[in-house]
Structure 1
Amino acid sequence: MTESPQSPTVLGPGAGALDRGLAMLDHLATVRSCTTSDLARVLGLSRSTTYRLVDRLVKGGWLASDPATGNLRLGPSTARLAGAALGSVDLRSAAVPVIARLVRQTRETASLAVPNGLAMVFVHRERGPRPVAVTDEIGASRPFHSTSVGRAYLAALPDAQLDEQLDTLLRAADSPLHEGMIAELRATLERTRRRGWSEDRREFDESSCCCGAPVYDHTGRPIAAISVAGVAERMEHVMDDIGHLVAAAAAEVSAALGHARTAI
């Protein structure tokens, strides 16, 4: 899915040296490389302040100068800190509290699914509190092409990987897809990318509707999808509202895994 560049940290009038240094690191985590003058301009700092802080951050290993361009980039101290942070967070531990909040917000069933072979597999589900709610066992699988979790994952793939995945699906002996379905599926995935979340309106199950959004790891690779599913008569009138909640939840989990939103 196409994502918008992350806005730079806004520094208030009372920002101290620590706030300014962290803002520099945050900006470089998004743009990857820039000049010291760029930092001063984007963060609204004087050149003298910026050069003084950059010098301290370089000496501490938090920033480094790119040998090829002379531009600044994140340094080895940042990499060590990032590695320690990533090692302390896994997908399920990051997703479970967010999914629990989704259930409270929507009162519908929320789930976490990961790709496995030709399908998505639920690895965590929390049933909504309504008397009639969508339910299924952990470990249940869902096809890529006709479900919100599957479409969310496919739409998040870069075009080349999407082509490979669709080709694999078509060649599989037990594939639910045939060549005549690909054009419509691609159009659905493109709408999903533009909207920011996927939907399944009674397509997998006539009695339910679902919204989904992808979860990315620290490299920007989609690794899972979060969904909210409910009885169709309730869900089909509020899909836009719930879709935005699911997209925000997936983005929160992705951020916890180290994903920085950038333009693809």
Structure 2
Amino acid sequence: MRISALRRKIRNLFKVVLKDPRRKSLFRILFEYTRFLVTDPIVADQYFYKYLYIKGANNFGDYKMTRRLRNRCWKLNDDAYASLLNDKYLFELFFSRFGLSVVRSYAHNINSLFFIQEKVIQVSTVNEFIDILESLIRDAPETKSLFIKRTEGSSGGKGIYKISARDLRTKPPRTEGLFHEIIKSGYIIQEALVQHDMLSRLNPGCLNTVRIDTFTNRQKISKIISAFIRLGSGESLVDNVSSGGMYVGIDINHGNLYAEAHSDFTH
């Protein structure tokens, strides 16, 4: 384990763990963590993030998600289709052909070139950028706002922005910063979805998403492994755990949510 990672865990120990009323005794935590540092570093690496410091958590052998194992899981996927999942623009083009409901995109860019329907527009100034966004917002009558996301690599909720017509004129520093950020890379401009009222009751501030884990074996038989719903927290626009969100498991046999939500323990 790197020294920087160990220091971060120590900071989290005092910042979060010691204040957790569910925790084991401090002596027990230090004893278990030190023992695993010596005997099983994989468990030590996940001791806090998997809540193994909580009273009653003794199933240490269940936590063996090493980088090697994670990489093997990814290699089960066909690399030929990886770009369809990683690139939001290709994802929309491909899956919309099969009648699947996907988020509608109004435009995408490659640096200062913006592709809007059949047109290619060179955007060189902040005012030109504002004009384009205002035009696109007029095409989104229901929400009057847009989501701007990195076309690729926006994992963890990073590189995602929500903007309205009012924001464009009342928050010039933010708009200018967004412009300079977008033209450095590739982004996609999408409609802001309106979620179902039941999902909105859980958290109206962001789009709460249901995720289903599937596995396809060598015989090409697909099965559902698990399902869960991700929820944002506070006024966050995203539901990613690394950005303060949480997830709740779904009983796939009955369609009910489990009683407890989980998040990164530092949140």
More strand as a share of residues: 2
Structure with more contact order per residue of length (Cα contacts < 8 Å, sep ≥ 6): 1
Give TM-score scaled by structure 1 length: 0.31
